[in-house]
Amino acid sequence: MPVRMIAAVADETARREIDLVRALYDRTGVEETPPHVPIVDPFEENTPLVDLIDMVGVIVSAHQPFMLELATPQRTFDPDPDTEVPQLLQLVAAQGAEESQRLAEGLYRDVFPHQRPDSPANSALQRTAMTIGRFRRERDADRAVVDLAGKSYFLVVTQVAILEGNEGAWSVQHLMDLGSMVAT
């Protein structure tokens, strides 16, 4: 059963800038996974991709593009016992999180009620963030937080992706435009 995730993907300008930062803290991740902000946390799903695209597309098309400012570096612990690098460095949204969380709420409510997290506090429902680094040691992650303090990264979210995970790497399976069914 494939592991998938629904995520906002960075626009080209932000992608280049963010990947430069990611290259400092997670070289492997830059090469294996595009920069993204989870909207629906990773889940296992048997639904065929074409059906998943249709279901997610209905919700995504009703939401307008939005701007995210990623400006609050934080260290968090990855609870997965199989991970070799348990310390994550994330940039948390300083602005624009509400739009991302509204989209997450719509997807969980209408498409993924069976995947809704039991404890939403660190899920995309209440925490809009992009992982930009992975560390084995807590002090290295803390040092990176200090290094990034005061820096901001802006991304215009115009697309949402269905990502599929394979051995720690995520690849884009399909891109969908936000607001494609909303009259302008």
pLDDT of 144 higher than 70:
yes
Give the separation between CA 94 and CA 107, rounded to whole angstroms. Answer: 22
Please give the pLDDT value at position 118. 87
Does 184 map to a domain? Answer: no
Domain CATH for 28: 3.90.1140.10
Please report, for the chain, how many H helices and E strands are present, in that order: 5, 8
- List the domain range (segments joined by +) for residue 34: 3-162
Q: Determine the pLDDT at residue 79.
A: 64
Domain annotation covers residue 167: no
Mean pLDDT of 150-165: 94
Does residue 112 lie in a domain region? Answer: yes
- The SS3 assignment for 82 reads coil
pLDDT reading at 20 higher than 70? yes
The structural domain count of the chain equals 1
| Residue 168: closest CA among 17, 14, 33, 15 | 33
State mean pLDDT over 5-20. 91
CB atoms inside a 10 Å sphere around CB 2: 14
* φ and ψ of 86, to 5 deg: -75, -15
Cα distance between residue 29 and residue 95, in whole Å: 25
Q: Measure the N-to-C terminal CA separation of the chain; round to a whole number of Å.
A: 39
pLDDT of residue 82: 62
pLDDT tens by residue, 111-123: 999 999 988 887 8
Return phi, psi of residue 163, to 5°.
-105, 150
Share of the chain above pLDDT 90, in %: 67
Q: Does any domain span residue 182?
A: no
Within a domain: 179: no
Residue 100 above 90 pLDDT? yes
Report the distance separating Cα 93 and Cα 175, nearest Å.
Answer: 22
Q: Which pLDDT value is given to residue 184?
A: 44
User: What local confidence, expressed as pLDDT, does residue 21 receive?
Assistant: 92
Whether residue 128 is contained in a domain is answered as yes
Residue 32 lies in a domain: yes
- Answer whether residue 120 is part of any domain: yes
